[in-house]
Amino acid sequence: MSSSHVLVLNCGSSSLKFAIIDVQSGSEVLSGLAECLAEQQPLIKYKYDGTKQTITLNHGDAHQVAIAQLVELVKKLGLDKHLIAIGHRVVHGGEHFTHSVLITKGVLNAIKQTSTLAPLHNPANLLGIEAAQAAFSSLPQVAVFDTAFHQTMPPQAFLYALPYSLYKEHGIRRYGFHGTSHYYVSTQAHKVLALDQQNSRIVSAHLGNGCSVAAIKNGQSVDTSMGLTPLEGLVMGTRSGDIDPGIFTFLVNQLKYSPTQIDLLLNKQSGLQGISELSNDCRTIEEAAANGHEQAQLALDIFCYRLAKQIAAFAVPLGGLDALIFTGGIGENSNTIRAKVVSGLSFLGLQLDDDKNLAARFGQQGVITTSSKPCAIVIPTNEELVIATDSAAIAQEL
Ligand code: ADP
């Protein structure tokens, strides 16, 4: 076994996703998820050497217990000897971070300061970093930011039409998220489609529980649909995406909602879940719609309409379109949603190939249109590989 392994940690508020990636081969040596960290019975589920296992976690500070248990597992499997770095997914890097960085005291402080912009995510990411630093004190730790790829957006794309002082004094602007995924799939698209890196126009649609699109010109993000927070833009599993901000005032004045209730409504009770009143899960919605559930069908219609509209809008900053990428759980698997979206974009020159669309599922990559330029293509994302590769590169420079 070579010493080219990176432990990738994605520490959320109620879960910890982890993987050990061999950066030489790009393969996943270990992968798993500690979940229900905020609940009574937290678990770690992991996959190693082709088999799946579950560990029940003890009570206590759930994040620390989960990381301690993960460290024990990594040592028991003898994988610690091959680690060269630990890579952490950090949700918000604000304007401080335009690329991945070695975590120093200064970097930790900057991530802490940015917590005001991501009060749910960054503190959880910090817990992961601090626990990993304590457990693997001799290994370099690297932060990879979800926002970094979008730092190339010009002011006309990232500023809101609000008083400028809110941006200057409080950092209220659009940052965008899913940057690691948009970066990975657009880099892959350049390779697979042999696009000219100096002259390419890509729209990347990351469609998972959270959904966002990015306009990528010559390999750089020039606009994206998420904003200050991941709430802006597309319809998502439980998030509303764009709404009239006047609804906020209506909810407060007429319906007496508190800020916490509004936050819950827009982040957890809206989107596919809110419209269908059935589920946030795309598979369930598709199945129900096929069986005649009207609100499930409505949820799909709104999801696809808004997505197609946003993709078409990004032809403006790009000045046209060479490739549309679908990725994320929905983008990689739902041939139904892809067909609906591509049919709404035929005026851009996209024509679906039904057989190719059906074939590109469950991890299969491929072009799904009859033409190659412009084309729509399915590319499975691999954020863990980007985090591992960046971390290894930074560790090797030390
Ligand atoms: P996350 O954003 O949490 O990483 P994923 O990228 O795994 O989420 O995407 C989850 C979404 O993908 C869910 O809505 C799920 O229903 C959807 N999905 C997964 N497989 C399919 C499928 N075969 N058909 C339609 N949707 C699917």
Domain of residue 133, CATH code: 3.30.420.40
Contact 42, 35 (CB under 8 A): yes
- What's the 246 CA to ligand 1 centre distance in angstroms? 31
- Per-residue pLDDT band for 3 (boundaries 50, 70, 90) equals confident
- What's the 36 CA to ligand 1 centre distance in angstroms? 19
Do 140 and 205 belong together in one domain?
no
- Per-residue pLDDT band for 333 (boundaries 50, 70, 90) equals very high
Domain presence at residue 183: no
The pair of structure tokens assigned to 178 is 């899913």
Residue 38 has pLDDT above 70, yes or no: no
Domain presence at residue 396: no
- What's the 283 CA to ligand 1 centre distance in angstroms? 7
Contact 45, 125 (CB under 8 A): no
With vertex at residue 77, the alpha carbon angle to CA 125 and CA 74, rounded to the nearest 5 degrees, is 15
**Antiparallel, parallel or unpaired: β 366-367 and 323-327:** unpaired
Contact 212, 233 (CB under 8 A): yes
> What pLDDT is recorded for position 182?
98
Mutate to test the pocket of ligand 1, among 282, 286, 378, 384 (most ligand atoms within 8 A of CB): 282
Do 124 and 273 belong together in one domain?
no
Residue bearing the CA closest to ligand 1, atom 19:
329
Q: Specify the number of domains making up the chain.
A: 2
Do 200 and 135 belong together in one domain?
no
Sequence ranges of the binding site for Mg(2+): 10, 383
Domain presence at residue 80: yes
What are the catalytic residues?
146
Do 227 and 326 belong together in one domain?
yes
Query: Does 309 sit in the ligand 1 pocket, CB within 6 Å?
Result: no
Query: Does 112 sit in the ligand 1 pocket, CB within 6 Å?
Result: no
DSSP letter at 57 equals P
Which is the closest atom of ligand 1 to the Cα of 237? 14
Sequence ranges of the binding site for substrate: 89
Residue 319 has pLDDT above 60, yes or no: yes
Do 205 and 286 belong together in one domain?
yes
Residue ending a domain, among 87, 112, 145, is 145
Q: Poorest-confidence range of 44-53, 278-287, 292-301, 375-384? A: 44-53
Classify the C-alpha dihedral 255-258-261-263 as positive or negative. positive
Query: Does 210 sit in the ligand 1 pocket, CB within 6 Å?
Result: yes
Do 91 and 204 belong together in one domain?
no
Q: Poorest-confidence range of 51-60, 80-89, 278-287, 292-301? A: 51-60
Sequence ranges of the binding site for ATP: 17, 206-210, 281-283, 329-333
> What pLDDT is recorded for position 305?
98
Domain presence at residue 178: no
Q: What average pLDDT does this structure show over 354-362?
A: 97
Residue ending a domain, among 82, 112, 145, is 145
Do 128 and 260 belong together in one domain?
no
> What pLDDT is recorded for position 2?
57
Mutate to test the pocket of ligand 1, among 89, 178, 333 (most ligand atoms within 8 A of CB): 333
Mean pLDDT score across all residues of the chain = 95
Do 213 and 82 belong together in one domain?
no
Q: Poorest-confidence range of 46-55, 172-181, 187-196? A: 46-55
Residue 308 has pLDDT above 70, yes or no: yes
> What pLDDT is recorded for position 57?
80
Residue 1 has pLDDT above 60, yes or no: no
Q: What average pLDDT does this structure show over 114-120?
A: 90
Q: Poorest-confidence range of 26-30, 37-41, 136-140? A: 37-41
> What pLDDT is recorded for position 164?
98
> What pLDDT is recorded for position 65?
82
Query: Does 287 sit in the ligand 1 pocket, CB within 6 Å?
Result: no
Domain presence at residue 169: no
> What pLDDT is recorded for position 341?
98
> What pLDDT is recorded for position 82?
93
% residues pLDDT > 70 (the chain): 97
Query: Does 181 sit in the ligand 1 pocket, CB within 6 Å?
Result: no
Residue 40 has pLDDT above 90, yes or no: no
- What's the 329 CA to ligand 1 centre distance in angstroms? 3
Do 378 and 251 belong together in one domain?
yes
> What pLDDT is recorded for position 60?
66
> What pLDDT is recorded for position 64?
78
Q: What average pLDDT does this structure show over 28-54?
A: 87
> What pLDDT is recorded for position 396?
93
SS (HEC) of 138-199 = CCCEEEEECCHHHHHCCHHHHCCCCCHHHHHHHCCCCCCCCHHHHHHHHHHHHHHCCCCCCC
Which is the closest atom of ligand 1 to the Cα of 272? 14
Q: What average pLDDT does this structure show over 371-386?
A: 95
> What pLDDT is recorded for position 120?
83
Nearest to 306 by CA among 271, 334, 348: 271
Domain presence at residue 187: no
Do 85 and 213 belong together in one domain?
no
Domain presence at residue 91: yes
> What pLDDT is recorded for position 316?
98
Residue ending a domain, among 113, 128, 145, is 145
Q: Poorest-confidence range of 18-22, 52-56, 142-146? A: 52-56
CA distance 141 to 392: 10
Do 242 and 316 belong together in one domain?
yes
Query: Does 233 sit in the ligand 1 pocket, CB within 6 Å?
Result: no
Q: Poorest-confidence range of 115-124, 157-166, 248-257, 361-370? A: 115-124
Residue bearing the CA closest to ligand 1, atom 23:
333
Query: Does 241 sit in the ligand 1 pocket, CB within 6 Å?
Result: no
Which is the closest atom of ligand 1 to the Cα of 381? 6
Do 132 and 221 belong together in one domain?
no
- What's the 280 CA to ligand 1 centre distance in angstroms? 10
Domain interval for residue 354: 195-383
CA 4 to chain centre: 25
Domain presence at residue 182: no
pTM of the model: 0.95
What is the helix (H) or strand (E) element at residue 358, kind and residue range? helix 354-359
